[in-house]
Amino acid sequence: MTDLSQLVKAYDVRGVVPDQLDETVARALGTAFVEMLREAGDGAEKIVIGHDMRETGPALAAAFAKGANSAGAAVVHIGLASTDELYYASGALGLPGAMFTASHNPAQYNGIKLCRAGARPVGQDSGLAIVRMRAEELLGDLDAVGEMPPRVEHIGLLDGYAQHLRSLVDLSGIRPLKVVVDAGNGMGGYTVPAVLGDQLLAPLPLEIVPMYFELDGSFPNHEANPLDPANLVDLQAAVREHGADIGLAFDGDADRCFVVDENGDPVSPSAITALVARRELAKYPGATVIHNLITSAAVPEIIKESGGQPVRSRVGHSFIKAEMARTNAIFGGEHSAHYYFRDFWFADTGMLAAMHVLAALGGQDEPLSRFAAEYERYSASGEINSTVADAPAKIAEVRAAYPDATFDDLDGMTVHLADGAWFNLRASNTEPLLRLNVEAPKPDRMAALRDEVLAIVRG
C-alpha cells in the first residue's frame, strides 16, 4: 500500500511533483475527500476547487475533480485563485473546498489545502488523517473505483471576492496613498488589481506600483515568502525609490501579507495584529480577539485598552481557527502574518488585513513609521532556529537556568522574567529544530537575553 505520510502534513497536503504528488494521487485524494465528508455527515454533493499559478496546478486539480466525480460529487471549478479567494468561494457557496497550492514552497512543489463548507479547516485531527488513509487504500486498486461521467462547472468568482472585501473595509474616503506591492510572481498579481485597482470595481485613491505581478510558478525573481528578509529587499528599495507611503508583500498563494513603512522598514506582524484588532473592536465592542503566544506582549495590552478580550493560542492556524470558533472571536493574528476574520468565515486573508492597514494609514496624516510606533512597544528578536539533537533535554536545561522565572507550557516553554522580558522555546513538529522568540522592554535587554538562551541551546 502506498504510504502518503510524507505528503499529507498536519494541516495540508504538500510535496514534490511528480515524485510525491501526481495526477493518480490527486485523483485518489479527491475520492477520499468526498468519502470522508460524506461519512462525517457533512454532505458532499458538490465541492469547489481552485488552483494557483504553478504549472502543475490545472492537471492536478482536474485529476482531483475526476476523483470527486467518481465518489458522486459534482465540482465547481473557479480556476486561478488565491487561497483566500477559494475560502470566499467555500463560504459564499456553502461548499467544501480544495485549493491547489504549495504556498511559498519552491517551484517543484504543489499541494492541497482542504476545507469543509464555510471554509472550516480540515487538518489531521479534523479529517485529513482519514483522507490520507482512504487515499492509500484507493491507490492500491484505483481502477476498482470506476469512473463517473464528468460533472464540472467552471465559474469565475474574482468579482464577487473583490466586492465582498470592499464591503468589509471602505477605502473610498482615505487620503491618496502610493502603494508598492510585491506579488512575488504569485497570486497577488491576480487579486490585487481586482481588489485594490480599478480592474473590476470603481477606482480607489490608491496609486499601485506593481512588482512581479506576472504569474510565474517558477518564481524567477525571489521566493514568494515575505517572512524571509532576503525576499523583502526588492520591495524595500522600490518603496524608497518611488517615495511610496507603504509597501505590501504577498506570499505565493496570497493568503499572507507583510508590510513595510515609507522608509522600507518592516512593520511587525504583531503590530499589524494590534492595529487590525483595534479597528475590529471599534466595530464590535467588547469582543474576543485571538493572538498566538509568540506575538508581542503589546498585542493583548492593546486589545484590553481597546475594550476587547484577548485570548492566547498555540501557534498554527488549526489552533487559531479552533479558538475563534469556540469563542466567536472577531479576529485572530499570528507572528507569521496570517490574519483571520469572523467576517470572512473565520478564515485567513492577507488582502483584508492589508485593506485595514491602508484604511488606518489613509485615515490620518502621519507617515506609517510614526503611526505604527504605537503598536511597536517592545523589542523582539523574531524567530531564531537552532538545530539540536535532543530538544526536550535542551528545553529542560534552559528551564533550570531560570529558577526564579514564571513558566507556562501551552506551546513549548514560555518563560516570563521579573523585568518584563520573556521568551518562548518550542520544538519544530517536522525538523530537529528549536525555535526561539525573545521580547524585552529595551533592545539591549532583548539582545542580552537572546544571546544568553542561545548559548545554552547551542552549547
Radius of gyration of the chain (CA): 22
Please identify every residue annotated as catalytic: 103
By CB atoms closer than 10 A (0-12, 13-18, 19+), residue 43 is: middle
426 has which bridge partners?
435
| Cα angle 381-397-411, degrees, rounded to a multiple of 5 | 55
Per the CB < 8 A criterion, the answer to whether 344 and 168 are in contact is yes
Q: Which residues of 396-433 are buried (b: 16+ CB within 10 A; e: fewer)?
A: eebbeebeebeeeeebbbbbbeeeebbbbbbbeeeeeb
Rounded-to-integer distance, Cα 215 and Cα 221, Å: 11
CA–CA dist 82, 251 (Å, integer): 10
383 within 8 A of 335, measured Cβ to Cβ? yes
Q: HSE (CB half, 13 Å, CA atoms) of 289? A: 33
Spatial contact of 291 and 273, defined as CB atoms under 8 Å apart: yes
- The SS3 assignment for 228 reads coil
Judging by beta carbons within 10 Å of its beta carbon (0-12, 13-18, 19+), is residue 38 exposed, middle or buried? middle
Report the distance separating Cα 153 and Cα 1, nearest Å.
Answer: 33
CA distance 419 to 252: 40
Nearest to 181 by CA among 204, 202, 217, 206: 206
